[in-house]
Amino acid sequence: MKLNIVPARTGVQWVKLGVRTFFKQPLALTGLFFMFIAVMTVMSMIPYLGSALVLGLLPAATLGFMAATQETSKGKFPMPWIMASALRAGRQESRAILILGALYALSFLCIMGASALIDGGQFAKFYLDGGSITRETLNQGDFQGAMWLAMGLNLPLSLLFWHAPALVHWHGIPPLKALFFSFVACFRNLGAYLVFGLIWFSIFMSVIVITISAVTVVASAESAASAVMPAAMLVMALFFTSLYFTFADSFIATPEEEIT
């Protein structure tokens, strides 16, 4: 396995490939994404352990969607059980993916703990447990400080885990090395990832604005708010479909370990 350095414009290509692949099997990939969200939502309802379990399974779930994208790009139909690819690949790989999940959950909860030192845990409780939040709380300096700290710390965490599950699955890299190689790949190709992220952010915001504007014209503001969630979920499904291509272009497989 070798690191591949790509120009910044490759970020545009990743978005195009993700969208093109999604529309090869739009119903299947949308169904897999909603299944993923549904499972995570149900798990999050488990008292005390729900949030930690969801965080721990995110690396495996992300890999499952990348595997589904790979199948679709080859002209195959992604079956539901492909979402469990990491846990069906053998004992050694399952253990490695679960280690990644545990590390991710622990790291994320530590970030939430750090944010709680600023605002007494208000942001962490809102982020992990959901629910409503008052405008007064949102405007509090402590709450905003905790939010920005969490966002700032989450960026390097995301870079560490961006490719780690795929490196474990397709290249057999041990968990800690996979985290290191993932961070290096994202840092060395930072231009492409910035372009990739900015495009998806622009698409997401544009879809939200267009959805709200269009629905408000023919219905009420309440209807517009209800329409935002499905539109946002569709964009997220498209985004997740494009993740596989960021990995495939960032690493070159040696002949004996070609991605199959």
Give tens-digit pLDDT for 94-142: 899 999 999 999 999 999 999 999 988 888 888 877 666 777 777 788 8
The residue ranking higher by pLDDT, 132 or 256, is 132
Amino acid identity, position 27: L
Four-residue CA torsion sign, 143, 132, 32, 198: negative
Give tens-digit pLDDT for 55-100: 999 999 999 999 999 999 999 999 989 988 887 877 888 899 999 9
Give tens-digit pLDDT for 19-68: 999 999 999 999 999 988 888 888 888 877 888 888 999 999 999 999 99
Q: How far is CA 78 from CA 73, 97, 256, in A?
A: 10, 21, 25
Residues 222, 225, 229, 232: what is their CA dihedral angle, to the nearest 10 degrees? 150
Residue 221: count of CB within 10 angstroms of its CB: 10
| Residue with token string 């959950």 | 105
Confidence at 258, pLDDT banded by 50, 70, 90:
low
Question: Which residues are paired to 2 by β-bridges?
Answer: 252
pLDDT for residue 138: 76
Range of the domain at 193: 2-257
Note whether 146 and 119 are within 8 A (CB): yes
Confidence at 198, pLDDT banded by 50, 70, 90:
very high
Question: DSSP letters along the chain, please?
Answer: -EE----TTHHHHHHHHHHHHHTTSHHHHHHHHHHHHHHHHHHHTSTTTHHHHHHHHHHHHHHHHHHHHHHHHTT----GGGGGGGGSS-HHHHHHHHHHHHHHHHHHHHHHHHHHHHHTTHHHHHHHH-----HHHHT-HHHHHHHHHHHHHHHHHHHHHSSHHHHHHHH---HHHHHHHHHHHHHHTHHHHHHHHHHHHHHHHHHHHHHHHHHHHHS-HHHHHHHHHHHHHHHHHHHHHHHHHHHHHHEE--GGG---
Average pLDDT over all residues of the chain: 88
Average pLDDT over residues 13-22: 96
Burial class of 79 by CB neighbour count within 10 A (0 to 12, 13 to 18, 19+): exposed
Cα–Cα dist 139/120, whole Å: 15
Amino acid identity, position 5: I
Question: Which residues are paired to 3 by β-bridges?
Answer: 251
- Angle value at C-alpha 173, between 167 and 178, nearest 5 degrees: 60
pTM: 0.87
Tally of domains within the chain: 1
Cα–Cα dist 209/217, whole Å: 12
